[in-house]
Amino acid sequence: MSLLSVILASILSLFNFSQLAASSASFFSFGGSGSAHVLFAGDMMFDRTIRTAAEREGDDFLLSCIDQVLLAPENDLVVANLEGPITGKPSVSIGSKPGEARNFVFTFPISTAQLLKDHQIDLVNLGNNHILNFGYSGVQSTVSTLEEVGVAYFGDPITDKVVYKTISGVPLAFISYNEFSDDGAKTAAAVTMIQIKSAKSVGFLPVVYTHWGLEYVRTAPQYIRDRAHAFVDAGAIAVIGSHPHVVQDSETYKGALIYYSLGNFVFDQYFQESVRNGLLIRVAFNSEGVESVEEIPVKLNRDRTVCPL
């Protein structure tokens, strides 16, 4: 079963590239030659009290304080982790208490997709431990809703999609790694390795967005460091992490950029300062790899907004 998953992922990875290159090149290519500036953010969760705040104040309220960063003209692309499915189902987590099983079951309203689009979050990672909270039908609803408004996605558990974008002449491949995949971490890592090598073989620079590690731990454990290094050894030029809900350390390894966790971006966790402090990074890529990095610390507020510090 695991071997079959890896083989299938390899075929799908190659198929996705040839399909994009053949029929959607104009959609995935824009700008002239130079540098591509990509803004990366961490975990976004639009259920529980985030959802009730949006119902009370309007969806745009949630991102109103961070718009100066999201809508900055220097951003060519904004990427973040969508920590759950978008469905027409009612919330089961609203009104739950921390520790209850339903407190960790997420579904986001249909309007979430347009909210992302309106605030220029045009690419989301779906490879995480909550995307299957409403099963594969929830994933299908998420994908179709995002597609309707023009938000791209990668890492979904149905196809393990890779997104290829050429920005200002810089060819980038956005690849997911989900440690919590139903196939298991080892198989998921093997799939990611295949996708990295496949992207590199056709001239794209692999950028891996991960969902991994230990929650609320400020320093990445050694097994995560080893995995990040393996991705770089396979050809990744950047590895950007999510899931721990706190900002973790970063490093440069063999010229590649590694941020082990960007922490929370849109989330209703306030029990300690580390979960309220997130990080955005604006990375400039050129045809050789990472050119520069700008760190933008953010604060998650109890009114459910997020603001730059």
The distance in angstroms from the start CA to the end CA of the chain is 47
The answer to whether 145 and 110 have CB atoms below 8 angstroms apart is: yes
Domains and CATH numbers, the chain: 2-308 (3.60.21.10)
Q: What is the pTM of this model?
A: 0.92
Would the CA dihedral through 46, 51, 55, 60 be positive or negative? negative
pLDDT tens for the 309 residues of the chain, in order: 344 455 555 554 444 444 343 322 223 555 556 999 999 999 999 999 999 999 999 999 999 999 999 999 999 999 999 999 999 999 999 999 999 999 999 999 999 999 999 999 999 999 999 999 999 999 999 999 999 999 999 999 999 999 999 999 999 999 999 999 999 999 999 999 999 999 999 999 999 999 999 999 999 999 999 999 999 999 999 999 999 999 999 999 999 999 999 999 999 999 999 999 999 999 999 999 999 999 999 999 999 999 999
Residue recorded with tokens 């990672």: 125
